């Protein structure tokens, strides 16, 4: 009887969502000025809408039916919950692949939310969404070329490989050669993106809102709002091209000490449009491919340090941040100058790809975010609370905000030990994080709803960088936090110097700078001692 009632609610949800979305899509199609686009929407949208609603209803039904009558906290319930998480994650993954486009973007984002969604979702999405995106056919690629540049690819280039070397959620990349002999990478937008992006966004929005009404703790409306704002910019490749040039300009002007170590492919403007982007071809190792990085003669730890420095400079000093630094968007190659490190290893150069998603931080936000990270690194509870409140977390959720940023519980965040923020990547660390995610799910959802969208994107960036560091080092390292502490502190001091010009204020800033150097030296000494301890342990093992 109960199962029948649940099935009726599932079917009712599917029909309600399909009917509502279908009506909205029909209204949009009726007003279209492009008959071809209208025809595509007429055939594609209803199928996608039905798929969405059936998947959402299926997941909702599975949770309700599978956990029905199982005592909270029992072994039986935990096992059943793990299984339903896994089934639901796979259903969601399959839906994302079938629909493509913004659904894959959504799946990629879910794969970074380890502080909010069950581990099963994180693992399924991370394993699938970066490397298995659907590809457009060569005919579709030619269609984009004819619309954008007036001719087929083989007329525009002397060589054009019809098989893409990579395919992402919004576009795929082909290798080509220009008439003057230069090897280039050509990014071609998937043809369906323009046609269905608006309808897909409306559909996702309706399903998320419907699920929120049925399950009040399920509140992902903030994610839908963020996609509404960012997607149009990501779909305009000329915006992406301008972002890449601005990024490099900022490094040259504001961070000249590491400008040579950060690179973005040169844009060929005469062969680029809003849906086609032709760039210099870069040969490098993916940032999470430790074996390939070592083959280049580069230490993974040097790459980790460079990634931390580059993004700390962007967040705390430039205020113009690449917000999609997952492993597929970061390449590593040897410095073109051929320079070696102190120990004879090759120095890495970080190549930033996919510049579609950037966020600008105004002066006040950038300063507060830098001051917050300074407080986190140096375990300053007062500074953490003050700056978390300034950024929108509120008096009641500032400790939770600090925990999400660092993936550490509050008692570790304010621990005075030098390595208080270091995550070893062990099984106990992972289970502890999942326990907190489950325990504080409603509060986390409320915090994410409350925070400004620019800070939500900083969280996303933070999550991507953490995943990159985990791949390079099998966990985080104290050196990463020394770098963050140093650059965030420098940014805070620079902001104070801009605001205060009196001699007395300058003297107090110099004193503060001297104290900062002393604290950073203390952290570096702690780091050296840890490294020495590890080296001695290895020697003992070898002798044994």
Question: What phi and psi, each to the nearest 5 degrees, are found at residue 160?
Answer: -150, 115
What local confidence, expressed as pLDDT, does residue 7 receive?
38
**What residue spans of 132-220 are helical by DSSP H?**
138-149, 153-156, 192-214
Other CB atoms within 10 Å distance of the CB of residue 14: 20
Q: Alpha-carbon distance 389 to 454, whole Å? A: 15
Which among 324, 354, 380, 419 is annotated as catalytic? 324
Q: What are the beta bridge partners of residue 349? A: 333
Evaluate whether 99 touches 169 at the Cβ level (below 8 Å). Answer: no
Q: Which two tokens stand for residue 216?
A: 């009040």
The separation between CA 291 and the C-alpha centre of its own chain, rounded to angstroms, equals 23
Is 338 inside a domain boundary? no
Task: Indicate if 3 and 138 belong to the same structural domain.
Answer: no
Q: How far apart are CA 419 and CA 112, in angstroms?
A: 24
* Residue 453 sits in the same domain as residue 498: yes
* Residue from 142, 239, 231, 162 nearest 194 by CA: 231
Question: Could you tell me if 262 and 389 lie in one domain?
Answer: no
CB 490 within 8 Å of CB 431 = no
Q: Where are the alpha helices (DSSP H) in 275-362?
A: 290-295, 300-313
Residue 315 forms part of a structural domain: no
Which contacts qualify for 388-393: CB closer than 8 Å, 24 or more apart? 390/364, 391/365, 391/451, 391/452, 391/455, 392/450, 392/451, 392/452, 392/455, 393/447, 393/450, 393/451
Q: How many Cβ atoms sit within 10 Å of the Cβ of residue 518?
A: 9
Same domain, 62 and 142: no
- The upper half-sphere exposure of residue 44, i.e. CA atoms within 13 Å in the direction of its Cβ, equals 21
Q: How many domains does the chain have?
A: 3
Residues 433 and 423 in one domain: yes
Domain annotation covers residue 393: yes
Q: How far apart are the first and last CA of the chain?
A: 66
For the beta sheet containing 285-286, the strands, ordered from the edge strand earlier in sequence to the opposite edge, are 262-263, 348-352, 330-334, 285-286
Question: In CATH, what number is assigned to the domain containing residue 276?
Answer: 3.30.200
Stated length of the chain: 544
For residue 302, give every residue at least 6 positions away whose Cβ sits within 8 Å of its Cβ, in sequence order, or none.
341, 345, 347, 348
Please state, as a whole number, how many other Cβ atoms lie within 10 Å of the Cβ of residue 299.
18
User: Is residue 349 in some structural domain?
Assistant: no
pTM over 0.85: no
* Structural domain boundaries enclosing 164: 133-193+236-281
In a domain? residue 317: no
Please give the pLDDT value at position 479: 83
- Give dist(CA 105, CA 195) in Å, integer: 17
| 535 in a structural domain | yes
pLDDT at 307: 97
Pairing of strands 320-322, 276-280: unpaired
- The segments of the chain whose pLDDT lies below 70 read 1-45, 115, 130-132, 194-195, 211, 214-215, 217-218, 341-344, 424-438, 475-476, 499-544
Quote the pLDDT of residue 201: 76
pLDDT in tens, 523-536: 666 666 666 666 66
Render pLDDT for 362-389 as a digit per residue (tens, 0 to 9): 999 999 999 999 999 989 999 999 999 9
Same structural domain, 399 and 537: yes
**Do 147 and 27 reside in the same domain of the chain?**
no
Domain shared by 485 and 369, yes or no? yes
- The verdict on 147 and 277 lying in the same domain is yes
Does 139 qualify as catalytic in the annotation?
Answer: no
Burial class (CB in 10 A: 0-12, 13-18, 19+), 543: exposed
Whether 413 is covered by a domain: the verdict is yes
Kindly state whether residues 216 and 189 are assigned to the same domain: no
Residue partners of 465: CB distance under 8 A and separation at least 6: 307, 308, 311, 325
The DSSP element (H or E) to which 456 belongs, if any, is: helix 453-473
Identify whether residues 140 and 217 lie together within a single domain: no
173 & 59 share domain:
no
């Amino acid at each position: 009887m109960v199962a029948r009632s649940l099935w009726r609610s599932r079917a009712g949800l599917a029909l309600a969502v399909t009917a509502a979305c279908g009506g909205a899509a029909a209204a949009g199609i009726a007003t279209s000025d492009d008959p071809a686009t209208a025809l595509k929407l007429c055939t594609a949208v209803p199928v996608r809408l039905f798929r969405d609603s059936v998947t959402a209803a299926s997941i909702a039904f599975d949770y309700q039916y599978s956990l029905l009558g199982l005592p909270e906290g029992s072994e039986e319930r935990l096992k059943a919950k793990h299984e339903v998480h896994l089934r639901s994650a796979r259903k969601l993954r399959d839906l994302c692949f079938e629909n493509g486009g913004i659904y894959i973007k959504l799946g990629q984002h879910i794969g970074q939310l380890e502080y909010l969604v069950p581990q099963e979702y994180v693992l399924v999405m991370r394993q699938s969404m970066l490397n298995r995106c659907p590809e457009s056919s060569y005919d579709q690629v030619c269609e984009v070329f004819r619309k954008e540049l007036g001719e087929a690819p083989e007329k525009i280039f002397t060589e054009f490989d019809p098989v893409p070397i990579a395919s992402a959620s919004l576009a795929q990349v082909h290798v080509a050669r220009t008439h003057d002999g230069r090897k280039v990478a050509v990014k071609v937008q998937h043809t369906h993106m323009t046609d269905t992006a608006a309808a897909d966004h409306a559909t996702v929005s309706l399903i998320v809102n419907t699920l929120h009404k049925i399950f009040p703790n399920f509140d992902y409306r903030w994610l839908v709002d963020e996609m509404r704002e960012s997607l149009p910019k990501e779909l305009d490749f000329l915006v992406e091209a301008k972002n890449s040039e601005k990024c490099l300009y900022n490094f040259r002007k504001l961070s000249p000490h590491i400008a040579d170590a950060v690179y973005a492919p040169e844009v060929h403007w005469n062969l680029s449009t809003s849906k086609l982007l032709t760039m210099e071809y870069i040969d490098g190792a993916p940032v999470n491919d430790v074996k390939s990085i070592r083959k280049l003669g580069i230490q993974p730890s040097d790459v980790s340090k460079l990634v931390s420095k580059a993004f700390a400079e962007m967040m705390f000093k430039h205020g113009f941040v690449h917000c999609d630094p997952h492993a597929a968007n970061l390449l590593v190659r040897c410095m073109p100058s051929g320079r070696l490190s102190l120990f004879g290893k090759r120095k890495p150069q970080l190549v930033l790809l996919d510049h579609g998603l950037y966020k600008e931080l105004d002066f006040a936000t950038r300063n507060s975010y830098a001051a917050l990270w300074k407080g986190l690194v140096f375990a300053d509870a007062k500074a953490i609370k003050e700056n978390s409140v300034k950024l929108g977390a509120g008096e009641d959720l500032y400790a939770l905000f600090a925990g999400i940023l660092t993936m550490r519980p509050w008692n570790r965040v304010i621990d005075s030990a030098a390595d208080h923020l270091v995550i070893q990547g062990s099984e106990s660390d992972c289970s502890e994080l999942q326990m907190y995610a489950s325990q504080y799910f409603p509060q986390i959802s409320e915090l994410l709803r409350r925070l400004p969208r620019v800070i939500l994107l900083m969280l996303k960036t933070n999550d991507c960088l953490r995943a990159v560091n985990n791949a390079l080092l099998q966990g985080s390292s104290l050196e990463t936090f020394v770098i963050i502490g140093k650059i965030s502190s420098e940014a805070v001091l620079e902001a104070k110097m801009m605001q205060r010009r009196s001699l007395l204020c300058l003297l107090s800033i110099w004193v503060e700078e001297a104290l900062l150097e002393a604290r950073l030296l203390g952290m570096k000494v702690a780091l050296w001692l840890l490294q020495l301890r590890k080296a001695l342990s290895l020697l003992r093992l070898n002798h044994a």
